[in-house]
A and B are shown apart, each in its own frame.
Chain A
Amino acid sequence: MDINNRGDEQLELLKVSNLEVHFAARQGFLSSLLNKQPKQVRAVDGLDFSIRKGEILCLAGESGSGKTTTGKAILRLVEPTGGEVCFKGEDVIAFNRQRLRRFRQEAQIIFQDPYESLNPRQTVFSTVAEPLEVNRICKNNEQIEERVIEALTDAGLSNPQELFLRYPHELSGGQRQRLAIAGALVVKPDFIMADEPVSMLDLSIRAGILKLMVDLRDQKGISYLFITHDLSLAWLVSDRIAIMYLGKIVELGSADTVIRQPLHPYTRALVSVIPVLKRVMPSDKKLLQGETPDPVNIPTGCRFHPRCPEAQSRCREEEPLYREVMPGHYGACHFI
C-alpha cells in the first residue's frame, strides 16, 4: 500500500499557536519560600503547528523533548500555561466544563503501553462502553452494545462478543492495542492523539496496528497527532513530521522532505542514525554528543547549540526564528 500525502489544505482541524506548558519544578514548601523565583520545567516552550482534517501529523524527537506534554496540553489533560489551541475554529483553552466534555468525545487518546493503558480490572466490554456511559451518549443498553460491537469490529477484532467478558491480560499484545483503539473509536472522534502506539509491540504485530490507524483515517477521516521517537515509523505513516527538541519544534514538513532533505542540523543528525538493515560506515553517522539537556536549564540562544556540530557564535546568543523556509517546510535555524 502506498501512502501519499493526505489532508485537505483548507480544512484545518486543529491549530496550535505558541503553545507553552511550564511546570513548576518539584520543590519542597520550604525551598519555595527561600527561593523567590521557583524553577520552571519548560516542557513545551512555544509551539506552532496545525493538523488538517484527515491528516496524520507526527511529532518526533528524543525522550524528554515534550512530545507527550504537547499532546496532553492539546487535549487539556494538562493545562497549558500559554498560547492557543483552536479546534474546529474554537478556542479549546476557553472551553467551559460542558464544552470540554463534548470536546472529550471529539478528541481521543491512545497510549504507548497497551498493558498499562487498559484498566486490568475492567472487562473488554466495560472498557469500550465506559465513554458511552460516562457521557450518557446512548439511550439504552442495547444501543451501547451495538456501539461497542461496532467499535470493536472497526478496530479489527472479529467476533467481539466472545471477547466481552475477557480481561486485558487474557488478550495478546496486538489485541490489547486494538482494544485501546476501539475504546477511542466508540465515541466517533474526529481527532486522536496517539502517544507511541506501537513502540511496545513486536515488529511482527506493529504493521497491523499502523495499518488499522491509517485505514481509519481513510475511511472515517480521523486526524491523528502521532507521537513517536522512531523516525522511520514517522516517515512510514505520517503525512507531515514535526521534529521537537527541548520543547520547541525545530523542523516541520512533509514526511518525505523531512526525511530525505532535512534542513536542521538536529534533524540531519537524527536521520543519519535511523537504523537500516545494513552496515553503515561510522563516518556516515552524524553522532551528537551527550543527551538532551534537562528542560529546567534551557541553553540561551539556539537551544540546540551546545550539541550542534555547526554552531557559530551567533547561535549562542540569538534564538533562531521558526519560519517557513520553503513552502510547507518550516525550520528554526539561523543557517537554513
Chain B
Amino acid sequence: MSLLEVENLTTYYKLKEGYVRACENVNLKLEKGEALGLVGESASGKTTAALSLVKLLPDNAEVRAGKISIEGRDISRAMEDELRRIRWKEIAIIFQGAMNALNPVRRVGDQIVEALRIHEKMPEKEACLRTAELFEQVEIDPDRVREYPHEFSGGMRQRVMIAMAVACNPKIVIGDEPTTALDVMVQAQVLQLLEKLRRELQMGMILITHDLSVVGETCDRVAVMYAGRIVETGPTEKVFENPAHPYTRALIAAFPNIEGKRYLAQSIPGNPPNLLNPPAGCRFHERCSQIIGPCSEKDPTAVEVSTGHMASCHLLGRL
C-alpha cells in the first residue's frame, strides 16, 4: 500500500471559450519517505495536479475523474469538512513565492500557531513553544516569531513556509516550486533544509519544479509532465541517464551541464500546445522529430521501459 496513490486524475478549467485541459489521466504513486519530482515547462499542469490532490482549486476548475488515496483511504469523495482535517495534517503544501503565501498583516509566528491549534488542538502557550522549536529547526532565530513577513528576506520566508508545512508532522509535503525566484545559493540552502527535514521526519514529498537539476539532486523518482499529461516516470537516475520519451530527451539535452562540453543544444521547435484545444493523439507530436503514423491519431499508452520506468510514446510500443 503506497502512501499516496493517484489514478486517472483529470482536471479541467472552465472558460467561456471552452475547457482548459490542464491535467489529464495523471497517475502518480508516492511511497513513504520518498521524494517524487514533478517537472515540466510552465503551463504544463503541475500546479493543477497538486491542487487537485487537496481540492484547493480555483472556482472554475472541475475535477472530472480520478481516485486519490492516502494509505489506501480514498479521499477523492471527501467532503469539505473532512478535507479540512486532511489538509496540513496529512498533506501540507509549500507554495511558490512565499512573499504572497504568507499573510502580510499577521505575525509569522501566529500563522504557524494557527495551524497547530487547528490540527493539534494545542493550547496557545504550547503552540508558541512549538513554533519557536520549528524556527530553530529551519535555522531561524526563534526570537523572530513576532515579526511580520515583510521583515524577512525571500529565503527566510521560504524557511518560514517550510516550518509551517512540517508543523503538524504531515505524511506528505507538496512543494510547488519552493525555490523558484530564489538565488542559487539560497536555493541550495533551502533544498538542503528540505532534504534534511524529509529524512528526519520520514515524510513523503512531491517536489514540483521546472528545473531538472532540482529533481536530479533531491528526488528519488521523477515524473515529467507535458501539456497536462505525464509523459514519463521512473527513478531519477534511470530517467536522466536513459530518457525514453523524445520530450524528456530534448529537455535533458537542453540542460547546460558544466561537467560536459560547452555546447549549445538545439531547442525544441515550436511551442507547447494550447490546452484549450490540444492536438489529437500524442500531445507532443507537433514538435517531435520522430513522428510515426499513430502519433497524431492515438493517445500513446504508458509502456514500462525498465522496472518502474514508464513512458508514453508510440515509438516505444514499436520496440
Contacts and interface: CB of A to CB of B under 8 A. Distances in A.
- CB atoms of A and B under 8 A apart anywhere in the complex? yes
Given A202-B41, A278-B240, A291-B185, A207 B217 contact: no
Interface in B251-279: 251-252, 254-259, 261-268, 271-272
B292 interface: no
A277 B255 contact: yes
Nearest to A278: B216
Interface in B180-230: 183-189, 192, 195, 210-214, 216-218
A233 interface: yes
Contacts of B186: 291
Interface stretch (A41-49, A88-96, A181-189, A279-287): A279-287
Contacts of B256: 232-233, 235-236
Given A273-B188, A276-B216, A277-B252, A210 B258 contact: no
Interface residues of A, number: 47
A279 B183 CA distance: 20
B267 A204 contact: yes
Nearest to A65: B183
Interface string A313-324: 000000000000
Contact of A285 (B192, B216, B218, B266): B192
A206 interface: yes
Contacts of B216: 275-279
Nearest to A63: B183
A214 B262 CA distance: 13
Interface string B234-260: 001100100000000011101111110
Contacts of B255: 203, 277
Interface in B123-173: 153-155
A282 B184 contact: no
B183 A210 contact: no
A173 B268 CA distance: 13
Contact of A236 (B184, B187, B212, B264): B264
Contacts of B264: 1, 3, 207, 210-211, 214, 236-237
B184 A277 contact: no
Contacts of A172: 271
B139 to A, nearest CB: 9
Interface string A257-296: 0010000000001110111111110100101100110000
B100 interface: no
A230 B185 CA distance: 11
A120 interface: no
A83 interface: no
Contacts of A276: 213, 216-217, 257-259
A208 interface: yes
B42 interface: yes
Contact of B188 (A208, A231, A232, A285): A285
Contact of A229 (B155, B183, B261, B265): B183
A160 interface: no
B252 A62 contact: no
A280 B217 contact: yes
B188 A236 contact: no
Nearest to A232: B256
Contacts of B188: 273, 285, 287
Given A62-B184, A274-B184, A291-B153, A203 B210 contact: yes
Nearest to A235: B258
A310 interface: no
A1 B266 CA distance: 10
B184 A270 contact: yes
A229 B263 contact: no
Contacts of B266: 207-208
A217 to B, nearest CB: 12
13 contacts: A3-B262, A62-B184, A202-B210, A203-B210, A206-B267, A233-B256, A235-B262, A236-B264, A259-B258, A277-B212, A278-B216, A278-B217, A291-B185
Given A270-B184, A278-B216, 15 more contacts: A62-B184, A62-B185, A203-B41, A204-B250, A205-B268, A207-B267, A229-B184, A230-B184, A231-B184, A236-B262, A269-B185, A275-B184, A276-B258, A278-B217, A291-B185
Interface of B: 41-42, 153-155, 183-189, 192, 195, 210-214, 216-218, 236-237, 240, 250-252, 254-259, 261-268, 271-272
Can you list the 3 inter-chain pairs with the closest CB atoms, starting with the nearest?
Answer: A275-B213, A208-B267, A207-B267
